Structure 1
């Protein structure tokens, strides 16, 4: 079974890794506004399907191919319908809902086996259509130092944790998870900044819904065996090489070890080779965490580069009823607020008794 509809060409060395990963191929035999992923997509360890940022970014990339070059996205509202299978190609169907003088609307459905796995509605506006006089205000970027240069050179983007604001409070809603993120390499300047916007969309899903468990100090993996099982399910890591996968799991290990200590668990490490019995007093184990929707409000569309450090701050104002809500602000390195994102997801704990009428497959 092929993971792409057509044979994948070799990566273009003149483009950044994230550009190669997000490249689309037109499928003209089906329709004028139908595209497919050119290369295999990543299935993160422990996830139910492909990395959600890939569907977000490729839907945006497909929609951008159907609007005039001076139109830029200002909002994108997405729903994760089914888990994407990394072993199957995805077809992106774009519908041209409206074309006006100042605004344009597109919907995109990502489909596998003829069924939608992801759907989004995007709104674009023409650059400069707001006039010379403007209503303006913005949230200032916190005073933080940029990370040092990276010593690694693998994977499409890199992240650096920048701590948790108010980490000692007992109120999860008052905490904020901070990190830096950027695309590796140098993004080409040949597509009117569209590659930077797609890259931003791709990276906006990094550790997003996981903010709920981080501010609640709930470990993602309950034991070394759980991690091993997740790694065994890894499919087509096209955008993460072995070194990057190793660092990814170490990063999860560091966070989960901290959560374990805060909850009074005496394991020396979540990632020891031998499982250690969990203390009976530990009752909060993550049972399911799945993104339901994802919204991006693009602010300064051309006021940033996705291959330079972007500072993000994520907070969770509410969690309950088996769901959690996360807000994310993203700033360029010069302090410009470039995007605000919102995501809701299923966040369920393991139960002592099975939930009645619960949808375990979503």
Structure 2
């Protein structure tokens, strides 16, 4: 698969890219389609922008929802995960009696969004540490029970945490949130095209995420899913011409003048993603991620989660013998692109993502660079 896939992405020669999860990569096929669409729009922008976008965007929203298993009636495309999160947070009914709970493993901008909202409303924000390696919900729920008094308004958590790459058990966490009278808000930035989405089965109340991370789509593009009773109340954080629309897709279809090509070219990305699925590419990527766990643990790295809570194609490791600065310097000089940063307790975490353009030699390259340092 690697030789074929390398021709489908504009990757620079000599780069070992294991950081697909941060930004994704647009495939050559989607880039070509997007360029043609851009030329078409600019041939007559008066007729091809504004209200003319609504029906194509509705059609593409339905296709996306069908592909990832969401209810189209509660789904809309939006600019990115941050846009979806901002809409939920800005629409949240908070006052000085409200409590918002967020896991410390949440993406920093999402945590900051809830910080600002609770500061403005007088509500309380409780941030809950997540012990790594994560080995199941029992310890986390025990900590929630011990830390959070009384009822809550919202529990904010990720389907797959960004830096620590933990695939959290959604149903158990939703049950806890509902037992405290709250709603579960899920950051599913690492869901579409990677981890199945089932918000109704989980018991989630709202889900936001990014599409361009795991589909070969043009950046940026995200989505928002809402439970039925929230569809009429969640509004975009920016007030645009469609802000007042009773229709969810229309409400998010015109965030001021913007470039709609990333949304319009989404069907091309979905088609290519499905072809790779039919060719067995995603199964190969899962196997490669499993091989990476074996290779990394053999040199002393520790996975951030036990096997049941490791995402299919995203794995993270605690490097006890190295600092973040050391690992960043080592990987950068070797042409390795992987996410490296601090954990909640200051530990060094390295995260890798396996994609269709990777093979075992990429894993071996990283391991060979780290081996000496981890065994010093």
TM-score of the aligned structures, taking structure 2 as reference length = 0.22
More strand by share: 1
Between the two structures, name the one with larger relative contact order (CA 8 Å, sep ≥ 6). 2
